[in-house]
Amino acid sequence: MDNFINLLFQPFRNFWASLAAFLPNLFAMLLIILSGFLIAWLARKLFLRLFTAINFDVWCDKAGLTAIIRKGDIWTRPSDFFGRIIYLIFIIIFLMIGLSALRLPTIGNLTSQFFLYMPRALSALFILIIGYIIAGFVARGILIAAVNSGYHYAKLLAEAVRVLLIVLILAMALEQFGIAPGVVIAAFSIIFGGIVLSLAIAFGVGGIDTAKRIIEKRLEEKKEEKGNIEHL
Amino acid sequence: MADFYQSGVIVTLHKLGRPSLEKIESEIFEFSKQRPIALVLPALYAEFKADALKGIVEELKKVKYINEIVLSLGRATDDEFKKAKEFMSVLPHDVKIIHNEGKRVKEIYATLERNGLQPGEDGKGRSTWMAYGYVIANGKSDVIALHDCDIVTYNREMLARLCYPVVNPNIDVAFCKGYYSRITDRMHGRVTRLLITPLVRSLQKLVGFHPFLVFLDSFRYSLAGEFCMVTDLARVMRIPWDWGLEVGVLAEVFRNYSARRVCQVDIADNYEHKHQPLSAEDAQKGLMRMCVDISKSIFRILAAEGIVFSDSLFKSLEVAYMRQAEDTMLKYEADAAINSLVFDRHEEAKAVEAFANAIKQAAQIFIENPMGTPLIPNWNRVGSAIPGIFDMLKKAVEEDNK
């Protein structure tokens, strides 16, 4: 009879023991997540102050980052936008830490993968932002130089260079993100190689005469140089 | 019928005989393939409730040569903006409404301000400036025509005559301003008749020959709100956002183009729109505010041209203006008499006194702060300070109009 009662109540006891063992983890998770919200809110406030102090919005306007944000139909100040992103990053980090406090094997794997992925994601984001600024800077430089040299298709040339650089940056960022790296590298090689090859063919076909003239001129110059008296 | 006398330094295009509207329109249609035209309409939401705008929209339906219409809407809530969109949707053209009070365009203004570019206060100057920015950002039009939305006597001939000199490559004018008479049972246009012309002529007497004063005096209706220009001018133009807008635009035209490339055209036999109260006692309202702003603008432009303004010059100007305005009044009295128009001499004299007071106040403000109201920066400078501004503006307007 005792055995039967034991058999009947054992699962309940086991459940209670598991629950008693799990509840502190659950409370720890809730506490971590709640404190995460508070820390995220504080971090956002702190970053907003910092952004105001360093005139971050003006810097974003000049660097073209505001224009990118607006392309996504987001019409808040750049500092507000980045403040929210920082807030979300903190929330996600604390959510992951909180979940790991549950000590569940599946969630443990997930969180460890997440923290392993974080540096890659951040570096990809960094590549995207810096790359976009550099692409804009180079395109503007080419536009100014081409306009000043009286080149007719200055805008087209600058845009083409910008698109090429953005393709390169996107490929680099995707590779960092680790999203189908093999496909990204292959696609990038095909697209970039295709563009360069078509430019080379276009220049080769269209510029045969020019290239011929340049080579002939060089050869003539060399001949003239040879005929000159060489001083000891 | 008008005479054909060419006065002043700019070209005057008169309305002689009965020119065929259909012929002009078909020519503009052909020219506009090479030089596409954008029509800019500055409007307040209150004007959507009036009959004038309904008439304008009905007339615009028949116009085929306009490439795009940009209506810059002021003082409108989001609901009112939607109603305005619905109202304008009957037009067959590509119509875009700039919602100046909307969150997107407001953010554009905020972007400009934090970068040290002051777009000024809400008003026609700022609205039209924003519309020019959109036309430049869109990059689809080489010519910009502009008229107000409160014209009761509007017909499409006005627009055709306004656009013709600028789109016609054989005339090759960079800026064309409309002129007309404003008559009901009496003459209107007091500010032009009794302030601008006497003030400009008094200044000519005091400072002698000055090309800008001659240029300004050449316009038959310098305060007319209807003009047409090449889009390039909108890129380099710095305009005041207050009532000095029209004079400011003329100053920019004078600065950037030869008088040979500037014209005025007779666009209507008669023109009627809303009348402003004089409000002689309050310089912050009605015609008085307008006169103070215009006088300030003229002083500032002349100072920029190198004329030295002193207390004594302003004192002499007050006296010279009064004499000039009284003489002008006599001319208009005679003109009214021969045309059987009502002429209330007392009211006209009161207006002259109020205008003299406005000049005095403007002089005082100018002496205290010669830089006065800052001009709205030109779009070239804005594009240089904020490289993505045109993309942002285009996106804002397109999202609002979805």
> pLDDT tens across B76-97, in order?
999 999 999 999 999 999 999 9
Kindly determine whether residue A76 and residue B107, on different chains, have CB atoms separated by under 8 Å.
yes
Kindly determine whether residue B386 and residue A66, on different chains, have CB atoms separated by under 8 Å.
yes
A73 to chain B: which residues are within 8 Å by CB?
395, 399
* Candidates B104, B388, B399; nearest CB to A66: B388
B115 to chain A: which residues are within 8 Å by CB?
58, 61-62
Nearest CA distance, A39 vs chain B (angstrom): 29
B396 to chain A: which residues are within 8 Å by CB?
70, 75
Any idea of the CA torsion for B175, B180, B182, B185, to the nearest 10 degrees? 180
For A90-106, the DSSP string reads HHHHHHHHHHHTT--HH
Measure CA B341 to chain center: 27
Q: What is the pLDDT of residues B316-328, one digit of tens each?
A: 999 999 999 999 9
B35-53: average pLDDT:
94
Three-state SS sequence of chain B:
CCCCCCCCCCEEECCCCCCCHHHHHHHHHHHHHHCCEEEEEEEEHHHHCCHHHHHHHHHHCCCCCEEEEEEEEECCCHHHHHHHHHHHCCCCCEEEEEECCCHHHHHHHHHHHHCCCCCCCCCHHHHHHHHHHHHHHHCCCCEEEECCCCCCCCCHHHHHHHHHHHHCCCCCCCEEEEEECCECCEECCHHHHHHHHHHHHHHHHHHCCCHHHHHHHHCCCCCCCCEEEEHHHHHHCCECCCCCHHHHHHHHHHHHCCHHHEEEEEEECCCCCCCCCCCCCCCCCHHHHHHHHHHHHHHHHHHHCCCCCCHHHHHHHHHHHHHHHHHHHHHHHHHHHHCCCECCHHHHHHHHHHHHHHHHHHHHHHHHCCCCCCCECCHHHHHHHCCCHHHHHHHHHHHHCC
Q: Is pLDDT above 60 for A75?
A: yes
Q: Structure tokens of B32?
A: 């506009």
Pairing of strands B227-230, B143-146: antiparallel
* Maximum pairwise Cα distance, chain A: 123
- Helix, strand, or coil here: A77? coil
Is B227 inside a domain boundary? yes
Is B153 inside a domain boundary? yes
Q: Which of B300, B302, B320, B301 is nearest to B368 (CA)?
A: B300
Interface of A with B (CB under 8 A): 57-58, 61-62, 64, 66-68, 70-71, 73, 75-77, 136, 140
* Candidates B114, B388, B399; nearest CB to A67: B388
A77 to chain B: which residues are within 8 Å by CB?
107, 110
- Residue A86's φ and ψ, nearest 5 degrees, are -60, -45
Query: Quick one: pLDDT band at residue B55, thresholds 50, 70, 90?
Result: very high
Report domain extents, chain A.
Answer: 1-103
Which residue of B108, B382, B386 is the best one to mutate when testing the A interface, meaning the one whose CB has the most A CBs within 10 A?
A: B386
Kindly determine whether residue A70 and residue B395, on different chains, have CB atoms separated by under 8 Å.
yes
Is B265 inside a domain boundary? yes
pTM, whole model, 2 decimals? 0.82
Q: What is the pLDDT of residues A4-56, one digit of tens each?
A: 888 888 888 888 988 888 888 899 999 999 999 999 999 999 999 999 999 99
Given its phi and psi angles, is residue A6 left (phi above 0), alpha (psi -120 to 50 degrees) or beta?
Answer: alpha
Q: What is the pLDDT of residues B197-239, one digit of tens each?
A: 999 999 999 999 999 999 999 999 999 999 999 999 999 998 8
pLDDT of A100 reads 86
Q: Is pLDDT above 80 for A208?
A: no
Residues in chain B: 402
A210-219: average pLDDT:
81
Nearest CA distance, B164 vs chain A (angstrom): 30
Is B334 inside a domain boundary? yes
Nearest CA distance, B379 vs chain A (angstrom): 15
Give the residue on A whose Cα is nearest the Cα of B107.
A75
Query: Which strand (E) or helix (H) includes residue A2?
Result: helix A2-53
* Candidates B110, B115, B392; nearest CB to A70: B392
**Chain A touched by B394 (CB under 8 Å):** no
ipTM of the complex: 0.82
Rg (C-alpha) for chain B, rounded Å, is 21
pLDDT of A231 reads 58
Q: Domain residues for B230?
A: 11-392
Is B148 inside a domain boundary? yes
Is B258 inside a domain boundary? yes
Q: Is pLDDT above 90 for B282?
A: no
Kindly determine whether residue B391 and residue A140, on different chains, have CB atoms separated by under 8 Å.
no
- Residue B2's φ and ψ, nearest 5 degrees, are -75, 160
* Candidates B104, B115, B396; nearest CB to A58: B115
Give yes or no for a contact between B111 and B388, defined as CB atoms under 8 angstroms apart: no
Kindly determine whether residue A66 and residue B392, on different chains, have CB atoms separated by under 8 Å.
yes
Q: What is the number of domains present in chain B?
A: 1
Is B402 inside a domain boundary? no
Instruction: Give percent of chain A above pLDDT 90.
Output: 25
* Exposure of B187 in the CB half-sphere (CA atoms within 13 A): 24
pLDDT of A164 reads 85
* Candidates A58, A64, A70; nearest CB to B114: A58
Distance CA B71, CA B231 (A): 16
If you count residue pairs, one on A and one on B, with CB atoms under 8 Å apart, how many are there?
Answer: 43
Q: Kindly report the CATH number assigned to the domain that includes residue B271.
A: 3.90.550.10
* Candidates A73, A77, A136; nearest CB to B387: A136
